[in-house]
Amino acid sequence: DLSPADMILFKSVHFAAFITDLGGTTSHTAILARSMAIPSVMALHNARGLVRDHDLLIVDGRDGVVIVNPDESVLAEYRLRQNQWRIDTDKLKRLKTSKSLTLDGTPIELMANIELLGDVAAVKAAGAHGIGLFRSEFLFLNRSDLPSEDEQYESYKAVAEALDGKPVTIRTLDLGADKQAPWGHTVADNPALGLRAIRLCLAEPGLFQTQLRAILRASVHGQVRILIPMLVSFMELRQTLQRIDEARDSLRKDGLKFDEGIPVGGMIEVPAAALSAGFFAEQLDFLSIGTNDLIQYTLAIDRADDSVAHLYDPLHPAVLNLIQYTLRAGAKAGKPVSVCGEMAGDPLLTRLLLGLGLRTFSMQPASLLQVKQQVLKSSLEALAPMAQRLLKNTDPDRTALLLSRLNG
């Protein structure tokens, strides 16, 4: 197994690929691997028993295949595939500067997800419209102390400046579950249902104030937005908005500048939040659907647990209905809604999401141009009825067919 914190340490080391026996494909470890553009195959169960030191491995991250000690012909075949992949990736770079429009001329916003300041180069290389999700908790991993307000401010400021006036959406701390805090909270039996994300921040007001002040201070250096993870209850939202007001007041008292109109958004990651999206949309400036958690909590599948990974299904009609419901609630309230979970970066799902009404996608930079390619060849009018068919489909044998028709 590898934790997200391990992956961050690996960022500075050169390695070709990795495989794990445990974990899930939308665990934060897998997400980091994708953002590092490192091939990986997770949840193999018994690789440790089958692979020995000095074995030669082919790791095909696209199809989820690992081959141990391949013979010459298999190796040659995979070298060809690797070269073809490089050629295709190079070709895609041409799309970097093309406008992101559907065939019927509707602009689609393509934003990037980042974990650390170092990811900004990839965001620029992909020509993203901005950062739709900055997972700020990665500043807090692999250390025993907490980053100070100034240290956080410097990081947020550096990202805001590097983005040159394009939006930078900084998500407040989402620790808990598979990203444990550096200080000693006891880990609950069910950490994904425990003191995680905004719950943890509201339980630690000092920690939250420090981060909010740092984000607000950084807002003078670019177009910064605040994003609150895992909102569920209306009381939490009220308390969160109060905490943000307190941070503003304290900065005013200290004579420090910030953007008075900084947009505050909320993540829709729990079915209860999706079903209350109308209320959240009215109270907030924007919403962002975190499909990784929305799927986890809707289908009761731990996204980090390999034993149920096969049940993790973005195409379950319940998931698609919650996404559509949230998009419609946002449209009704006149507030933008994005998707920033892994679904947004899967080119096989681009047309489906467009068909459900999504106009803003946020994803790991490595997927952005592939998704743009899909956008450029999509006609919205044709997609909506086909997306509805998938949304109503309860026959598991038809899912692949309906999706391929949508993508055909």
Q: Is residue 174 at the binding interface for ligand PEP, with CB under 6 A as the rule? A: yes
Burial of 144 (0-12, 13-18, 19+ CB in 10 A): exposed
Size of site (CB under 6 A) for ligand PEP = 11
CB of 344 to ligand PEP, least distance (A): 9
Cα distance between residue 25 and residue 254, in whole Å: 45
312 phi/psi in degrees, rounded to 5: -75, 110
Please, what's the largest Cα pairwise distance for the chain? Answer: 71
130 vs 341 by CB, closer to ligand PEP: 341
Residue 267 beta carbon to ligand PEP: minimum distance, rounded to whole angstroms: 7
End-to-end Cα, the chain, rounded Å: 37
Contact window for ligand PEP (CB under 6 A) among 43-51, 60-68, 100-108, 289-297:
289-297
**Which residue from 167, 341, 345, 365 is in contact with ligand PEP, where contact means CB under 6 A?**
341
| Region of 105-113, 283-291, 314-322, 330-338 interacting with Mg ion (CB under 5 A) | 283-291
According to the binding rule CB under 6 A, does residue 346 interact with ligand PEP? Answer: no
Given a contact cutoff of 8 angstroms between Cβ atoms, the answer to whether 22 and 6 are in contact is no
Least distance in angstroms from the C-beta of 147 to Mg ion: 21
Identify whether 340 is a catalytic site residue. Answer: yes
Query: Which of ligand PEP, Mg ion, none does residue 176 bind (CB under 5 to 8 Å by kind)?
Result: none
Q: Quick one: which of 29, 210, 292, 393 contacts ligand PEP (CB under 6 A)?
A: 292
Please say whether the dihedral angle defined by the alpha carbons of residues 209, 224, 27 and 9, taken in this order, is positive or negative.
Answer: negative
Site membership for ligand PEP, residue 27 (CB under 6 A): no
Binding to Mg ion (CB under 5 A) within 231-270 occurs at: 269
291 binds ligand PEP (CB under 6 A): yes
Backbone angles phi, psi at 377, to 5 degrees: -105, 20
In the list 293, 302, 306, 346, the residue contacting ligand PEP (rule: CB under 6 A) is: 293
Q: Does residue 110 sit in helix, strand or coil?
A: strand
- Taking the least distance from each CB to ligand PEP, the nearer of 147 and 341 is 341
CA angle 148, 151, 156 (to 5 degrees): 120
Tell me how long the chain is. Answer: 408
Determine, following the binding rule CB under 6 A, whether residue 204 of this chain makes contact with ligand PEP.
Answer: no
Angle of helix 234-253 relative to helix 205-218, nearest 10 degrees? Answer: 60
Name the catalytic one among 28, 129, 221, 316.
28
**Helix or strand (DSSP H, E) at 67:** strand 65-68
Confirm whether 28 is a catalytic residue: yes
Q: Specify whether the CB–CB gap between 280 and 298 falls below 8 A.
A: no
C-alpha distances (whole Å) from 191 to each of 21, 32, 202 are 21, 20, 16
Q: Shortest approach of ligand PEP to residue 73 CB, angstroms?
A: 39
Chain positions contacting Mg ion, by CB under 5 A = 269, 290, 293
Give contact residues for ligand PEP (rule: CB under 6 A).
Answer: 31, 133, 135, 174, 269, 290-293, 340-341
Catalytic residues: 28, 340
